[in-house]
A = this chain, B = another copy of it.
Amino acid sequence: MTPSRKVAIEKSSDFGKDFPVPKAERHSLIRPSLEDEIASAIQEGILGGQWNPGERLVEMELAQYFGVSQGTIRGALKYLQAGGLVEHRPRRGNFVISISEEDIRDISLMRDTLESLGAQLAAERISSEGEARLYEVVDEMRQASKQHQRQRLLELDLRFHRTVVEIADSRLLQDMYRRLEGPALLFLRMADGFYQEPQAIVDLHEPLLEAICSGDSARAYELARRHTDPDAGRLTGRYRK
């Protein structure tokens, strides 16, 4: 989602010619454009099952449905394309992605890869504000675990790592995690939280939280790469049958 991204203030040491950074840049609490809002709405629709995987998204239909113009819809769809939830086929249209077995493996692999990198970086530059945000998520996890809300727990899992990635403070990593998150959420909702015990997720994130907050980047890195060895095979294996 991240409809409004923090604008990185360039420093004088940047590459290339110096183009002035306008004053207004600093205080602008960016209001999301209509396009962004529509994009979020469509995304929610996809994740909520209003549009199914593989289904075609017709521009004019959406325009009427949301009461906006075709151009706005087109922009919103482009945004979703970048987020990986919508696939564009030239002269054919836009389609909600389908998730294949290979995609599931990829998602798991990339989660490991990006989340472990994120954890490592976050441990190096955690702040008290970041700590508070992470603690909050883990608290919600504990509650969800007690009430055996598996679905919610898996989504909190993703939210935890998105927060970690934001703390890691890397534009590249954040964009990539956004590309990953949409498909991951779609898969989770379709698969309906079928793997891992609730408590196991909490047990995994508590030490990870601690490692990050204590600045132990190596340990954070190791703790965050979890699916790879034990789970990945079991996951796809379990799906296959």
Of the stretches A9-17, A144-152, A201-209, the one at the interface is A9-17
State whether A90 touches B4 (Cβ < 8 A): yes
Within the complex, the shortest CB–CB distance from A63 to chain B, in Å, comes to 15
State whether A54 touches B117 (Cβ < 8 A): no
Which residue on chain B has the smallest CB distance to residue A24?
Answer: B92
Which residue on chain B has the smallest CB distance to residue A51?
Answer: B16
Task: Give residues of chain A (24-55) contacting chain B, Cβ–Cβ below 8 Å.
Answer: 24, 30-33, 36, 52-55
Interface string of A181-192 (1 = CB under 8 A from B): 001000100110
- Does A8 have its Cβ within 8 Å of any Cβ on chain B? yes
Within the complex, the shortest CB–CB distance from A105 to chain B, in Å, comes to 8
Task: Give Cα A239–Cα B118 distance, bound, in whole angstroms.
Answer: 24
- Does A81 have its Cβ within 8 Å of any Cβ on chain B? yes
State whether A183 touches B190 (Cβ < 8 A): no
State whether B98 touches A14 (Cβ < 8 A): yes
State whether A89 touches B172 (Cβ < 8 A): no
State whether A54 touches B14 (Cβ < 8 A): yes
| Partner among B15, B33, B54 whose Cβ is within 8 Å of the Cβ of A98 | B15
Within the complex, the shortest CB–CB distance from A24 to chain B, in Å, comes to 8
- Does A233 have its Cβ within 8 Å of any Cβ on chain B? no
State whether B32 touches A90 (Cβ < 8 A): yes
Q: What 9 A-B pairs come out closest when comparing CB atoms?
A: A16-B53, A19-B54, A82-B82, A14-B98, A78-B78, A106-B170, A15-B99, A106-B172, A10-B98
The 25 listed contacts between A and B (C-beta, < 8 Å) are A7-B87, A8-B100, A10-B100, A11-B101, A13-B100, A14-B99, A14-B100, A15-B187, A16-B52, A16-B99, A19-B55, A24-B92, A30-B89, A31-B90, A32-B90, A36-B90, A81-B82, A82-B82, A84-B175, A102-B169, A102-B170, A103-B172, A109-B121, A110-B176, A175-B179
